[in-house]
Amino acid sequence: MKHVARLVLMSTLALTMSPVARGQCSYTVKTWAPMPCSMGLDKYYGGTGLNSIGAWCGYRGKCHGVTGEVPVYCPPGGSPQDLPLPPGAGPKGANTVAVNDSGVVVGFSYQGTSGSQLVGCVWMPDGTVTTISPAPGGTSSKTNAVNNQGAVVGSSAGKPYVWLNGEMTLLPIPAGVLTGGYATDISDSGFVVGEFGHHSNGTLRGFRWRDGEFEVLEPAESYTVSRARGVNDAGVAVGASNAYENGVYVGSVATVWTKESIIALPSLPGHPYSYAMSINSSGVIVGGASLNGYADTNVAVVWVNGEVYKLAELMVQGTPTIGTLPKAINAAGEILILGAIKIVTPISSVSADLTGDCAVDGKDIAKVLAEWGVTPWTVADVDQDGVVGGRDLALVLGEWTGPK
């Protein structure tokens, strides 16, 4: 069963493969200096969102011993800029969650003295701020993602929503399930993913929605609940399938949902617990793995063409350590790391790594031979002349590395 699922996964990702995903095997790290405050009490930035052209959004703590958060946006290649607090923000301030390629930032403000009401807001490039009113019966409208059309997703009144041009659409939750639904991501093509239900009674499920079609994402075989965290333009969703026994968390596996299949991703050796957070248009997936399901054993991982790699082992020697876990991956293959702002950037792509396993070896030769002839739209056509032939074979041999 798992062998069949693996073949399906690699076939599916191959359909969306591009030169970005081939040879995404070496990374460096971009970092930003902290916000200077008086008396040396500088405030570090935290990254929460990354767009496809290198802009990011996040937050920093307030200076001078004042508690609360300041929302931040950083343009491509620029310096972090404070965003204005939305109307009604309480002393805890505001935070951001995502930014699109037009520089539209979404997030939420902490309303009230306690900051327990999270009201969604949208910062436009012209400096204006729009708040997202909670759904009827709700007090919060927390945001989680935005796409390049400006559609925002989140949760309000215990249901997932899509907000666009001032109008909120609540997504349906299957009858008989308690409230607790929320949307976690939206693609430019309009696919929305999220979760509903609860761990406690085994009803927690991921979902995928587009244009009124609501689809429940069932967990992988032998697991009891599912969680969906990311989706790409092809509608491929990623997240995790978790297992519980008598209410105790006993397992987790990173999971991919295509239109046809539920696929358990391979685990990092020695780290049996895993989960996926984000997938880009090339099918590269980022997430985490752990020894026992606890945060103190978490490590960052990346799946390329169905193969799992420990991200720290792909870093160029001498680059800063990446620290915590990935939050998102963009179309360029850049990876946003949670915590102090760090963007992991792929370098040295190797066009002859046809299988995306970070090596040019016999498997790449086998792919060229298997697709020999007039075979357009394949990574085996290394020179991109529409024919898989001798020149492609020579290019693979010229970049030979052997198995890694």
Calculate the alpha carbon distances from 9 to 6, 186, 259 in Å: 5, 21, 11
CB atoms under 10 Å from CB of 366, counted, come to 13
What's the confidence (pLDDT) of residue 286?
Answer: 97
Which parts of the chain register pLDDT below 70? 1-24, 177-179, 348-350, 356-358, 375-377, 404
Calculate the alpha carbon distances from 60 to 122, 138, 140, 146 in Å: 18, 28, 22, 21
Give residue for tokens 């987790």: 252
What's the confidence (pLDDT) of residue 13?
Answer: 43
Distance CA 229, CA 158 (A): 18
CB atoms under 10 Å from CB of 5, counted, come to 18
Q: What is the DSSP letter of 169?
A: E
Structure tokens at 325: 């876990």
What's the confidence (pLDDT) of residue 323?
Answer: 82
- pTM for this one? 0.84
What's the confidence (pLDDT) of residue 15?
Answer: 35
Distance CA 349, CA 372 (A): 23
Structure tokens at 120: 């969604």
Pairing label, strands 335-337, 326-329: antiparallel
Residue partners of 176: CB distance under 8 A and separation at least 6:
none
What's the confidence (pLDDT) of residue 259?
Answer: 93
Give residue for tokens 């070896």: 361
> Are 256 and 237 within 8 A, CB to CB?
yes
Long-range CB pairs of 213-220 (<8 Å, 24+ gap) are 214/171, 214/172, 214/174, 216/174, 217/193, 217/257, 217/262, 218/262, 219/255, 219/262, 220/253, 220/255, 220/262, 220/263, 220/264
Calculate the alpha carbon distances from 287 to 151, 279, 328 in Å: 24, 9, 8
CB atoms under 10 Å from CB of 1, counted, come to 9
Q: Is 82 helix (H, G, I), strand (E, B) or coil?
A: strand
* Largest Cα–Cα separation, the chain: 70
What's the confidence (pLDDT) of residue 350?
Answer: 66
Model confidence over 380-395: pLDDT tens digits? 888 888 899 999 999 9
What's the confidence (pLDDT) of residue 361?
Answer: 87
What's the confidence (pLDDT) of residue 14?
Answer: 39
What's the confidence (pLDDT) of residue 241?
Answer: 98
What's the confidence (pLDDT) of residue 356?
Answer: 61
> Are 250 and 259 within 8 A, CB to CB?
no
Identity (one letter) of the amino acid at 203? T
Model confidence over 45-101: pLDDT tens digits? 999 999 999 999 999 999 987 889 999 999 998 999 999 999 999 999 999 999 999
Task: Name the burial class of residue 15, with classes exposed (0-12), middle (13-18) and buried (19+) by CB atoms within 10 angstroms of its CB.
Answer: exposed
**Beta bridge partner(s), residue 301:** 287, 310
